[in-house]
Amino acid sequence: MHKRSEVNVRGTALVSAAHVVDDFYQGVIPALLPFLVSERHYSYAAVSGITLAATVLSSVAQPAFGVLADRRSRRWMVPAGMLLAAVGASLAGYMPSYALTWLVVALSGLGIAAFHPEAARCARQAAGHSNTAMSVFALGGNAGYALGSLVATPVLLWLGIHGTGLLVLPAVVMALVLSRTLNHTLDHHEKHRSTSRMPSGHDDWPAFIILTTVVIIRSILFFGITSFIALYFIAHFGTSETTAGVALTLFLVTGAVGTLLGGWLGDRFSPIVSIRSGFALVIPALAGALLTGSMPLAMVCIAITGIAAYMPFSVFVLLGQNYLPSRIGTASGVTVGLAVSIGGLANPLLGWLADGTSLRTALTVLLVLPVLALIVSGFLRMPEAHR
């Protein structure tokens, strides 16, 4: 276990808070989907395309931003990326056509891409070698995603789809805070340390590619659940949009427990234990949610699914950075960004499957993914410096 003194607590808290605000705008998008269906009469495939919009530019741009972060620290990308994410998501409710809605959501995804590699570098500087501290940074993103759904749903119920305009405010406030405090909070703490907080050793590309494969599989699973679980509750149980929003929010909120649990397991045993345990638990939990005819029991299963699906995510960043110690930005850009975002590229296939069969069938297909992730994770090994 890593001592508290090794962690820059204020720096970890600040970067994690920024992560909350940035990923808030990722959480707004799935919360917006039922309203696009009801108010604009989009098909399931069309709303899958909106999820694709949030991820396609992010997927392409993320490695480039990671390379930039490797060459020279560019901390300005943290507030700037966050603001672009906020503006894009907030404009989505005002666009008069599907094409323009797709475009502004894509710009929001570009902002997300700019934010994550540099923010993950800042988080590593603050957290040192602690999986638990890095899981707090990951928790910030999970909490932000959950808050996006929690806040956006009542705002949109109250004001209609034009209520997205109010949602830009958190990013404006946080960007002002970061511009005044980020550099001092991180660099002042470093002056009092004699040892490096960054990983060392040789880059292990084969291990990193295996990890990236696992992250991609988890990403497809995650986007499939978050995009369709609310719509599934409406279609299968006949619930209201409000109750369906509760199911989505429950999945995301319980993910916070899974994030911290995964970080603790990573420090107590190993990150690989966190990864395999999470995927093993997803299988019965998601199956239970889809097989039961009881809505309360389905809610319980969704809560367990949230815990399980987030356990691997909390250790992906630190493990990826340890596999590529000389390319922290690239590793962060892939594990936090590219591999996560690319899961959204598979969403239209699920949408088309749901349109042609049923949402239940499409979600049942997702059960193959944690099984596949368990198989691939069997080839993971601990980084060179930790053996």
Per residue in 245-266, pLDDT tens? 889 889 988 988 999 999 999 9
Burial degree of 339 (CB within 10 A; 0-12, 13-18, 19+):
buried
The number of distinct structural domains making up the chain is 1
Model confidence at 4: pLDDT above 60:
no
All residues at 6 or more sequence positions from 52 whose CB lies less than 8 Å from its CB, including other chains: 344, 345, 347, 348
Residue that has been written with the tokens 């990013």 in this structure? 171
Work out the end-to-end distance of the chain between its first and last CA atoms, rounded to an integer number of angstroms: 16
Least confident of 10-24, 175-189, 193-207: 193-207
Mean pLDDT of 266-285: 95
User: What's the CA gap between 105 and 125, in Å, rounded?
Assistant: 31
Is the separation of the CB atoms in 337 and 212 below 8 Å?
A: no
Is the separation of the CB atoms in 158 and 152 below 8 Å?
A: no
Model confidence at 199: pLDDT above 70:
no
DSSP code at position 333:
I
| CA geometry: angle 237, 42, 145, nearest 5 deg | 70
The CATH number assigned to the domain holding 41 equals 1.20.1250.20
SS3 130: coil
SS3 312: coil
pLDDT score at 200: 65
User: What's the CA gap between 296 and 95, in Å, rounded?
Assistant: 37
| pLDDT, mean over the chain | 87
- Residue among 158, 53, 72 at smallest CA distance from 111: 53
User: What's the CA gap between 58 and 193, in Å, rounded?
Assistant: 35
Hey, what are 113's tokens? 């891409």
Model confidence at 216: pLDDT above 80:
yes
DSSP states along 31-100: HHHHHHHHHH---HHHHHHHHHHHHHHHHHHHHHHHHHHHHS--TTHHHHHHHHHHHHHHHTTT-SSHHH
Domain boundaries, position 38: 4-386
CA distances from 206 to 209, 212, 291 (A): 5, 10, 38
- Residue among 293, 383, 332 at smallest CA distance from 63: 332
| Rg (the chain; Cα; Å) | 20
Mean pLDDT of 121-139: 88
For 20-73, the pLDDT digits (tens) are 999 999 889 888 888 888 888 888 778 888 877 887 777 778 778 888 877 777
Q: How would you label 238-276 residue by residue, b for 16+ Cβ within 10 Å and e otherwise?
A: ebebeebbbbbbbbbbbbbbbbbbbbbbbbeebbbebbb
Q: How would you label 72-105 residue by residue, b for 16+ Cβ within 10 Å and e otherwise?
A: ebbbebbbbbbbbbbbbbbbbbebeeeeebbbbb
CA 48 centroid distance within chain: 17
CA distances from 215 to 21, 89, 184 (A): 23, 25, 33
Model confidence at 155: pLDDT above 80:
yes
Percent of the chain whose predicted confidence (pLDDT) is above 90: 44
| CA geometry: angle 257, 286, 308, nearest 5 deg | 25
